[in-house]
Amino acid sequence: MSSSLAQKFKNIGPGALVAAGFIGPGTVTTCTVSGASYGYTMLWALLFATVATIIFQEMASRVGIVSGKGLGENIRDRIPNKALMWIAIVIVIIAIFVGNIAYETGNITGGILGIQAVAPDVPMLPIVVVLGICAFVAMWIGSYKVVEVILTAIVVFMGVVFLVTALASSPDWGAVAHGLFVPALPEEGSKGILTAVGLIGTTIVPYNLFLHASGASERFKDPEQVSDARFDTILSIGLGGIISMAILVCAAANIYGTDTVVTNGKDMALALQPLLGSWATWLIGLGLLAAGFSSAITASFSAAYAVNGVLGWKKTVKDLRFKLIWIIVLVCGCVMAIALGKSPTELILVAQAANAILLPIMAFFVIYCANGKDLGKWKNHIFANCAGVVIIVITLFMCYRNMSSFLTSLQALIGG
């Protein structure tokens, strides 16, 4: 069943949730620091991360559509050995809870930075309370379609904000093209590698795999609609990648080569004020707020989908146990944001490091499920498997190189 182009656009949604999930404060912070520190050099890492994200999210959505189940349920159902199944369930639950609570803390913190960029005198506590209540209400409504519409609108808003700001910065397009297609690392070897790791790790987000599989299974009921889901994935995540690149380009065009010290998106908003006027500060601040709020919703929802799926519970958003999971993640994120808010940038970077460590495990589960014989003609072909294995090898390298950085940052955060 081949859909018309108009129908494909109408079916956009699950992919937009994924884009809303990975364009969070970590993305804004990492892209800002990369562009301000190294210019356009690291754009290739974002291009690679965007392509890798499309490959894995397409697998997850395909598994969800054809099986009619989320990724968590597929992991549970496809492991025949009971002992191995429970080991996998424990791994997923621990990984999702630890990773998502860390990520949620960074999301709430990013929303704080966005508001304080335009209203620096506003205290942290009321900001956290308002953000938490808004996210709670959006999810408690209990309608997947409502949440999907809200997050799709936020993604479009972020796209306009960051693209307009980047274009107004008059970047060097030749340098942009060179940075995109010629992989290179800055002279500071170890820092350059860690920057590349951060850019890749903040784009390929493990919890989005669960969110996408469940979202696609709810939106697309006919396996023949896999092509519609693939269109949604490529377009939405492609737009998300472009937004990330626009953030880096904006920082590179306006801040690289100056003496301005930039450590996060809030700093970039303030640094752009004398260059582009006060409107740019407002746009960046609102974009950072939107990034934090949208990711706060997706992190909570995906944790609920994952845990409910692997435990075999009902996965409907109206189910009490489903709500209990996302409430725990949201509340823990808000509490930790207040407790550790003295080091917001360090906190966001720690969340990214945890994300990179969990990524290879979740990627393996996706490939395993996407090769199920019951998927028939929709199971992985050789290209998808080869591409997936290559990406897993690269993410394992990321995990290895990121471990020392993660431990150092975590120690500094807790001890500082």
Identify the architecture of domain 5-415 in CATH. Up-down Bundle (1.20)
In what helix (H) or strand (E) does residue 132 lie, and over which residues does it extend? helix 124-140
Q: Output the pLDDT for position 315.
A: 64
Does position 2 have pLDDT exceeding 70, yes or no?
no
- pLDDT in the model for residue 371: 95
Q: Is 97 helix (H, G, I), strand (E, B) or coil?
A: helix
Please tell me the predicted confidence (pLDDT) of residue 265: 66
Rounded Cα gap, residues 174 and 383, in angstroms = 32
Q: Which residues contact 115 (CB under 8 A, 6 or more apart)?
A: 122, 127, 285, 289
Distance between CA atoms of 203 and 195, rounded to whole angstroms? 13
The residues spanned by each domain of the chain are 5-415
Q: For residue 356, is pLDDT > 70?
A: no
pTM: 0.85
CB atoms within 10 A of CB 66: 24
Q: 272 or 22, which is more confident?
A: 22
- Residue 250 to residue 254: CA distance in whole angstroms: 6
C-beta of residue 163 within 8 angstroms of C-beta of residue 171: no
Crossing angle of helices 82-118 and 344-370, in 10° steps, is 140
pLDDT at 385: 95
Give the amino acid at 396: L
Residue pLDDT, tens place only, 72-126: 899 988 888 889 889 888 888 887 777 788 778 878 887 887 888 778 788 888 9
The residue behind tokens 């999301």 is 107
Which two tokens mark 153?
């609108």
Q: Tell me: the pLDDT tens digits for 214-226?
A: 889 888 888 888 9
Give start and end residues of each alpha helix (H) in 169-277: 173-181, 189-201, 206-219, 226-254, 265-276
Q: Structure tokens of 141?
A: 């409504």
Q: List all residues 6 or more positions away from 329 whose beta carbon is below 8 Å from its beta carbon.
A: 97, 100, 101, 104, 299, 300, 303, 304
Name which of 192, 177, 170 is nearest 254 in CA terms. Answer: 170
Q: What whole-number distance in Å separates Cα of residue 132 and Cα of residue 233?
A: 28
DSSP 238: H
Residues with Cβ within 8 Å of residue 131, at least 6 apart in sequence: 108, 111, 112, 292, 293, 296, 334
Binned at pLDDT 50, 70 and 90, residue 344 comes out as low
Task: State the Cα torsion 188-189-190-192 to the nearest 10°.
Answer: 70
Phi, psi of 176 (to 5 degrees): -65, -50
From residue 240, give the alpha-carbon distance in Å to each of 31, 63, 129, 316: 13, 22, 28, 27
Decide if 308 contacts 314 (C-beta within 8 A).
yes
Task: State the average pLDDT over residues 144-170.
Answer: 78
Confidence at residue 361, expressed as pLDDT on a 0 to 100 scale? 83
- Give the C-alpha separation, 20 to 157, whole Å: 11
Looking up tokens 């390929």 gives 204
Burial class for 90, CB neighbours closer than 10 Å (0-12, 13-18, 19+): exposed
Mean pLDDT of 62-79: 91
Phi, psi of 41 (to 5 degrees): -55, -35
> Mean pLDDT in the chain?
82
DSSP assignments along 373-397, one per residue: GGGGGGS--HHHHHHHHHHHHHHHH
Give the CA dihedral 163, 157, 99, 344, nearest 10 degrees.
Answer: 70
In 3D space, the residue among 398, 406, 403, 355 whose CA is nearest the CA of residue 45 turns out to be 398
Q: What pLDDT does residue 359 have?
A: 79
Mean pLDDT, residues 116-141: 86
Q: What is the mean pLDDT of residues 349-377?
A: 81
